[in-house]
Amino acid sequence: MKTLVCIKQVPGTAQVEIDPQTGTLKRAGVPAKMNPFDLYAIEAALRIRAAAGPDSTVTVLSMGPPQCEKVVREAFAMGADSGAILTDRAFGGADVLMTSFTLSQGVGKLGPFDLIVCGKQTTDGDTAQVGPELAEWLGIPHVACVKAVDAVGADSISVTADLPDREVSQRVPYPCLITVEKGIAEPRLPSYKLFKSTAARKVEYIGLADLADSDPKHYGLNGSPTQVKRIFPPPSGAGRTMLEGDAAAQAAALADILEERNFLR
Amino acid sequence: MSHISIHPEKASDKDAAIGVCPFGAIERDATGALFVGGGCRMCRMCVRRMPEVFEFVEDAEAAPAVDKNEWRGIAVVAEISPDGALHPVALELLGKARELAAARGEPVLALAIGGRTEAAVQEMLERGADEVHVYEDPELSEFRIEPYAAALSDFIREKKPSAVLVGGTPTGRSLAPRVAARFRAGLTADCTTLGMSPSGDLDQIRPAYGGNIMAHINTPRHRPQFATVRYKVFPIPPRERPHGAVVRHKPPRDGLASAISILESRPKPAVKGIEDAEAIVVCGRGLRRPEDLPMLRELADALGARLAGTRAVVEAGWLPASCQIGLSGRTVKPKLIVTCGVSGAIQFVSGMNGSGTIVAVNTDKDAPIFSVAHIGIVGDIYEVVPALVAAVKAKKEAAK
């Protein structure tokens, strides 16, 4: 059984900030790390590989600058068998549609796969939408928000999706795509031994010319229907009340306001 | 091809030029020359900050725009559970859709997909839908992606709505991208502000890049425009006398077949989530140890509030994930929220800034939380919270 996991490198700390006064960036080039949700996707895939038996493999794919080889190597240290990076200047400025299209082209180059596993969302985009769009480009069914893999069969996989009001167990035939929740399985730590033993393993670099559709107009900014018109710091609230004095005075003033606004009934 | 063009002769300081990009996308090649690498997200910050060096070059032969006049109406996709209950985010979206549609004199189209839709259809008529389009079939009872995507696609082909608004629930965030990709359409997730420009382009604003940045996003050349909005971001409009029409559709031409078999659907015990709380006390990293949580619980009890936390607190395991407020957690809109030792990253703020009264307690007077707070206290939660608990208890006692 062949499984692919899509992974992404994200800023290590959550913040890229603009100074509201000057409109300039407070910080740039923060250290990067693997998207935390992807660790669960890799763990789920490794357990599926174990359940599926011999000749099963886990491949990881990341789209981004060459620096994201680091997260591919981290996946190797967790136990992934092979990995590739989609990188090309033409991919820059990709929105959800173009990111998922580019990934689908990468899947075409590396695949076919029986199963594709994505983390539920990334911590820098927070959209949770690339996985379902990728499934559409590939024309395969998908199940989002998977909290448990119940059975790994020869032709299908059984999973439980976690919805706000109910849990739905369902069986999906291969090929298919799932996006997984945190908590599906505790991710193993990268192994130093594996990290060393895979240090010489080649990471495949895939550029525009390697893809079935190599028209640059179909990628990146040019192919993206959404355009960022501008970015700006969040509006700051004027007209707020600051309560002065020591803690007792501040607390008393706040209690007065809360009473006035009927919060103390 | 649209791209960022670099004028290297104007870049006196190459390191400074590299430094203008928040994503490190400006790189040097082997010869030391600058180029824009694949990390570029076209935020055009470089063009704004160093206009002499960086230039945005628009593609002259860009794909022709669609005829926007063929696409009319603001559609709202309802989420209906197997027992026929309507998720209230659809009502919130109807209120916003009315506003957007009024700006251009377009209709508000509601879409009901499910096994039992009657109650939901009635509810949406009472909240201002001009037309409610219905796809009802036992096969649509449980959410499965193929038949739901087929129904939504069928509706879009027939009605050609200019915009499609979908609740940012787990189901909505599965359906909207699937169908957006089918139409090669733009999709903007988790919008916090939606407006309508004279050209009919949705002005979509959302927190971006996980940082303290808002992005204003347009879809200038494509229709329909897909946007998702989280629950409790917009208010529910008042009930009114229904005036809309109900249009019942045959099964979609792509059929209702699904490769997915539902084995079991188990309702979860109804735990009241923080989304439903009228008052919330939030624990941030100003709390030094998990052992100190009872101090905040006491405040929550005194205020009749639920205790919730920031991402950092939940990731540290101090509170369960169901209590996390923010983009990667829940969106809340209580009447009162008291944040204790919360710095106020946009990731957090966008999950709570619709709250009625926002109180912030933080030692750092420059913390971003104070820019969204209505009432601010610069102080140590270890002093302010116990004093507040005492003051609130005294007032309640006096009122008895």
Tell which residue, B29, B31, B11, has the closest CA to residue B20: B11
B192 touches chain A (CB under 8 A): no
Contact A145 B375 (CB under 8 A): no
pLDDT digits (tens, 9 = 90+) for B273-294: 898 888 999 999 999 999 999 9
pLDDT digit string (tens) for B292-347? 999 999 999 999 999 999 999 998 999 999 999 998 889 898 989 999 999 999 88
Q: Report the mean per-residue pLDDT for chain B.
A: 90
Domains in chain B: boundaries: 3-57, 68-248, 274-399
Residue A149 near residue A158 (C-beta atoms within 8 A): yes
Q: Reply yes or no on whether the pLDDT at A123 is more than 80.
A: no
CA distance A184 to B7: 49
**Closest partner CB to B181 (pick from A97, A182, A226):** A97
Confidence of residue B169 (pLDDT cuts 50, 70, 90): very high
Residue of B nearest to A259 (CA): B395
CA distance A250 to chain B (A): 7
Of A60-64, A135-139, A226-230, B368-372, the least confident: A226-230
> Which residue of B177, B214, B266 is in closest CB contact with A132?
B177
Report pLDDT for A1. 95
- Of A76, A97, A99, A96, nearest in space to A5 by CA: A76
pLDDT at residue A27 in the model: 46
Nearest to A172 by CA among A152, A145, A198, A202: A152
Interchain pair A93, B40: CB under 8 A: yes
Residue B232's nearest CA partner among B123, B96, B131 is B96
| Mean confidence (pLDDT) of chain A | 89
What is the fold of B3-57? Answer: Alpha-Beta Plaits (3.30.70)
Q: Do B59 and A222 touch (CB under 8 A)?
A: yes
Encode B69-83: b = buried (16+ Cβ within 10 Å), e = exposed: eebbbbbbbbbbbbe
Query: Which stretches does DSSP call E strand in chain A?
Result: 2-7, 9-11, 32-34, 57-63, 82-86, 115-119, 142-152, 156-162, 166-173, 176-180, 204-206, 227-232, 241-243
Mutate to test the interface with B, among A100, A126, A224 (most CBs of B within 10 A): A126
Q: What is the pLDDT of residue B2?
A: 67
Chain A nearest C-alpha distance from B92 (Å): 18
Q: Given this chain, do its domains B3-57 and B274-399 carry the same CATH topology?
A: no
Alpha-carbon distances, residue B3 vs A28, B54, B56 (angstroms): 22, 10, 6
Contacts of B279 in chain A (CB under 8 A): 263
Query: What are the structure tokens assigned to A68, written together?
Result: 């994201």
Task: Name residues whose C-beta falls within 8 Å of residue B3's C-beta, 6 or more positions apart in sequence.
Answer: A221, B36, B56, B57
In tens, the pLDDT along B221-232 reads 899 999 999 888
CA distance B218 to B275: 30
Instruction: Render pLDDT for B93-115 as a digit per residue (tens, 0 to 9).
Output: 999 999 999 999 999 999 999 99
Residue A77: DSSP 8-state = H
Asked if residues A225 and B186 have their Cβ atoms less than 8 Å apart, the reply is: yes
Closest residue of A to B335, CA-based? A263
Calpha distance B308→B69 (Å, rounded): 46
Say which range, A63-72, B59-68, B262-271, has the weakest mean pLDDT.
Answer: B59-68
**Domains, in order of start, for chain A:** 2-223 (3.40.50.620)
CB contact under 8 A, A93 and B42: yes
Answer yes or no: do B384 and A144 touch at CB < 8 A: no
B65 touches chain A (CB under 8 A): no
What is the reported pLDDT for A23? 47
Residue of A nearest to B202 (CA): A226
pLDDT, residue A239, reads: 57
Q: How many residues does chain A have?
A: 265
Give whole-number Cα distances, B45 to A64, A224, B20, B60, B203, in Å.
19, 18, 7, 22, 19
Instruction: Assess whether pLDDT exceeds 60 at residue A107.
Output: yes
Higher per-residue pLDDT: A175 or B272? A175
Residues 6+ apart with CB under 8 A from A186: A43
Query: How far apart, in Å, do the first and last CA atoms of chain A sit?
Result: 61
Note whether ipTM > 0.90 here: no
DSSP assignment letter at A89: G
The pLDDT of residue B48 is above 60: yes
pLDDT at B350: 87
CB contact under 8 A, B379 and A250: yes
Cβ–Cβ gap A263/B211 under 8 Å: no
In this predicted model, what pLDDT tens digit does every residue of A73-92 receive, in sequence order?
Answer: 999 999 999 999 999 988 88
pTM listed for this prediction = 0.82
Q: Are the CB atoms for A141 and A161 separated by under 8 Å?
A: no
Q: Output phi, psi for B37, to 5 deg.
A: -90, -175
Report the candidate in B100, B91, B155, B101 with the shortest Cα–Cα distance to residue B126: B91
Q: Choosing among A37, A143, A163, which should be mutated to test the B contact, i.e. which has the most B CBs within 10 A?
A: A163
What is the structure's pLDDT at A235?
64
> What residues of chain A lie within 8 A of the CB of B81, using their CB?
165-166
Q: Of B8 and A170, which is predicted with more confidence?
A: A170
Q: Which of A138, A88, A130, A69 is nearest to A108 (CA)?
A: A138
Cα separation, A146 vs A161, in Å, equals 4
Distance separating alpha carbons of residues B160 and B162, to the nearest angstrom: 6
Q: Is the dihedral of CA B247, B70, B221, B198 positive or negative?
A: negative
Q: Is 3.10.180.10 the CATH classification of the domain at B274-399?
A: no
What stretch of H or E contains A37?
Answer: helix A36-52
Q: Which of A15, A17, A93 sits opposite B41 (nearest CB)?
A: A93
The SS3 assignment for A144 reads: strand
Give contacts of A144 with chain B, Cβ < 8 Å. 170, 173-174
Q: What is the largest CA-CA distance in chain A?
A: 70
Q: What is the model's pLDDT at position B18?
A: 83
Instruction: Give SS3 for B217.
Output: strand
Coil, helix or strand at residue A18:
strand
- What distance in Å separates the CA atoms of residue B55 and residue A95, rounded to the nearest whole number? 21
Structure token digits, residue B252:
């979609």
Q: Radius of gyration (Cα) for chain B, nearest Å?
A: 25
Contacts of A46 (CB under 8 A, 6+ apart): A58, A78, A79, A80, A188
* Among candidate residues B176, B142, B260, the one with its CA nearest the CA of residue A167: B142
What tokens were used for B354? 């619709």
DSSP states of B267-316 as a string? Answer: EPP-PPPGGG-SEEEEE-TTS--GGGHHHHHHHHHHHT-EEEE-HHHHHT
Residue B263 has a CB neighbour count (10 Å cut-off) of 14
- Please give the class, per CATH, of domain B68-248: alpha beta
- Which has the closest alpha carbon to A99: A152, A70, A62? A62
User: pLDDT band at residue A22, thresholds of 50, 70 and 90?
Assistant: very low
CA dihedral B322, B326, B331, B337 (to 10 degrees): 90
* Mean pLDDT lowest among A29-33, A41-45, A182-186, B334-338: A29-33
The strand pairing partners of B266, in sequence order, are A167
Picking from B128, B140, B123, the residue whose alpha carbon sits closest to that of residue B86 is B123
A69 three-state secondary structure: helix
Strand ranges (E), A32-110 = 32-34, 57-63, 82-86
Looking at the complex, does the CB of residue B16 fall below 8 Å from at least one CB of chain A?
no
Please report, rounded to a whole number, the percentage of residues in chain A having pLDDT higher than 90. Answer: 66
